[in-house]
């Protein structure tokens, strides 16, 4: 038997208890929970086969009562004696994609980001489109290319046409960028033809991860009218390995910014799901931005209500991401196209002026949030390195 030492200031203390999928050398991936600097093997510790699987989907599909029950059992387990064979130092495990991604949707919920991108992509029009304050704008992305943190990102090639070029050409993206986002994972789905109200959010959504929505801005700018993002984003989306349960985010709930005009009834919230998360973006080890999630105009409960208002079903493993998190200040922008204003205002990274990503660059996005009883909880990180394009 082992007792896990949990320092009072650990971002992975009892207020957090995020779930992931891990393996140790020579063993199959299975579900674990992060406690301080250890990973607890839940199949071994609780003797329940639902955790012996290589994804969280089966457990998530069991529903909220079960999520609450397991969280209570975990609190008892990790504050007492844990079977020694179930406890692994975090440095000895490999983390995998934590769930099988069903459908993937990406929203555009930051007013600061949407306004900045509007100014950059459409300098002669209003920064926000007329629909933006009436509905959470989003698009369906490519679930099959959502990858685990640490997966290398091969620079995409595609069609690009700069405004001053007469014709498009094909080649490696010259404006490869990141988008620092938060993603929400559906645990229990909804019926085709049904809807999910804003007050049903916590019955359906299991937890949250960090997302890097890698974006090739030159490919995006040429292809996106009139149907939206396509190959400029579908080549890879990275997510963090730890799914922070919604049950751990109660202390992080805040009001969303004032919504004016008042949204239609199906988008209204009695108790809003704004979240007070602090993101940090590191470029080759240097902090370049601190995006504040609390600034997001639309809440994730409003996103899910909107996604299903037409009768589209949600299902276990659906991932919907918030869109780039950007605050009002320049050093709070969650994409390099905003941070460098379209590449015209380079930022200094380790003493060099930089605009978009170069081969070999590494980006790490991390986040923390208020936890229960005055603690702070951590999301860990989502990490990715750019490899040269395939020639």
Q: Measured in whole angstroms, how far is the alpha carbon of residue 302 from the centre of its chain?
A: 16
Q: Which residues pair with 89 in a beta bridge?
A: 38
CB of 107 to Mn ion, least distance (A): 8
Catalytic residue among 96, 112, 113, 204: 113
DSSP letter at 243? B
Cα(31)–Cα(105) distance, rounded to whole angstroms?
A: 25
Least distance to Mn ion, CB of residue 92, Å? 34
Residue count at the site for Mn ion (CB under 5 A)? Answer: 3
| Minimum gap (Å) between residue 113 Cβ and Mn ion | 9
- Residue 253 near residue 275 (C-beta atoms within 8 A): yes
Q: Is 242 exposed, middle or buried (0-12, 13-18, 19+ CB in 10 A)?
A: buried
CB-based burial label for 257 (10 Å; 0-12, 13-18, 19+)? middle
Chain residues 94-123 in contact with Mn ion, contact rule CB under 5 A: 106
Rule CB under 5 A: say whether 338 interacts with Mn ion.
Answer: no
Neighbours of 169 (CB within 10 A): 10
CA 264 – CA 136 distance, rounded (Å):
12
Cis peptide bond prior to 62, omega within 30° of 0: no
CA distances from 160 to 169, 173, 219, 337, 356 (A): 6, 8, 5, 16, 15
Closest approach of Mn ion to the CB of residue 200, in Å: 25
What is the pattern of x (binds Mn ion, CB under 5 A) and - over residues 149-188?
A: ------------------------------x---------
Range in contact with Mn ion (rule: CB under 5 A) among 116-124, 212-220, 332-340, 367-375: 212-220
Q: State which residue, 245 or 323, has the beta carbon closest to Mn ion.
A: 323
Closest residue to bound Mn ion by CB: 213
Is 96 an annotated catalytic residue?
A: no
Residue 220 Cβ, how far from Mn ion at the closest point, in Å?
10
Task: Return the residue of 41, 111, 177, 213 that touches Mn ion, per CB under 5 A.
Answer: 213
Say which residue the tokens 């209204």 belong to. Answer: 268
Active site residue ranges = 113
Which residues contribute to the site for Mn ion (CB under 5 A)?
106, 179, 213
């Amino acid at each position: 038997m082992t007792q896990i030492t949990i320092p009072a200031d650990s971002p992975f203390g009892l207020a957090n208890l995020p779930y992931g999928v891990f393996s140790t050398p020579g063993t199959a991936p299975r579900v674990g929970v992060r406690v301080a600097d250890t990973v607890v093997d839940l199949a071994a510790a609780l003797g329940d086969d639902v955790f012996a699987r290589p994804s969280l989907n089966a457990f998530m599909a069991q529903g909220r009562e079960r999520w609450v029950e397991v969280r209570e059992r975990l609190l008892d387990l990790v504050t007492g004696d844990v079977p020694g064979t179930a406890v692994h130092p975090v440095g000895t495990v490999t983390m995998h994609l934590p769930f099988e991604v069903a459908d993937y949707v990406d929203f555009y919920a930051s007013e600061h980001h949407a306004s900045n991108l509007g100014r950059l992509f459409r300098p002669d029009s209003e920064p926000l489109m007329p629909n933006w304050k009436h509905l959470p704008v989003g698009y369906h992305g490519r679930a099959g290319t959502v990858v685990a943190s640490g997966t290398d990102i091969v620079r995409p090639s595609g069609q690009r046409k700069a405004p001053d070029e007469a014709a498009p050409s094909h080649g490696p993206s010259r404006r490869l960028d990141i988008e620092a986002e938060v993603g929400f994972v559906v645990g229990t789905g909804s019926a085709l033809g049904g809807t999910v109200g804003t007050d049903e959010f916590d019955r359906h959504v299991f937890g949250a991860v960090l997302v890097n929505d890698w974006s090739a801005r030159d490919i995006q700018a040429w292809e996106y009218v009139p149907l939206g993002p396509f190959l400029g984003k579908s080549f890879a989306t990275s997510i963090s390995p730890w799914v922070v349960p919604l049950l751990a985010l109660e202390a992080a709930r805040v009001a969303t910014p004032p919504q004016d005009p008042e949204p239609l009834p199906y988008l209204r919230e009695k108790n809003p799901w704004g979240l007070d998360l602090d993101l940090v973006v590191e470029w080759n080890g240097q902090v370049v931005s601190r995006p504040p999630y609390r600034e997001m105009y639309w809440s994730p409960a409003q996103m899910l209500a909107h996604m299903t208002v037409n009768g589209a079903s949600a299902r276990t493993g659906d991932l919907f991401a918030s869109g780039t998190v950007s605050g009002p200040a320049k050093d709070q922008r969650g994409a390099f196209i905003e941070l460098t204003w379209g590449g015209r205002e380079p930022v200094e990274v380790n003493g060099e002026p930089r605009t978009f990503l170069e081969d070999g660059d590494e980006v790490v996005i991390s986040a923390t949030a208020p936890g229960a009883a005055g603690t702070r909880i951590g999301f860990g990180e989502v990490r990715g390195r750019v490899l040269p394009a395939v020639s």
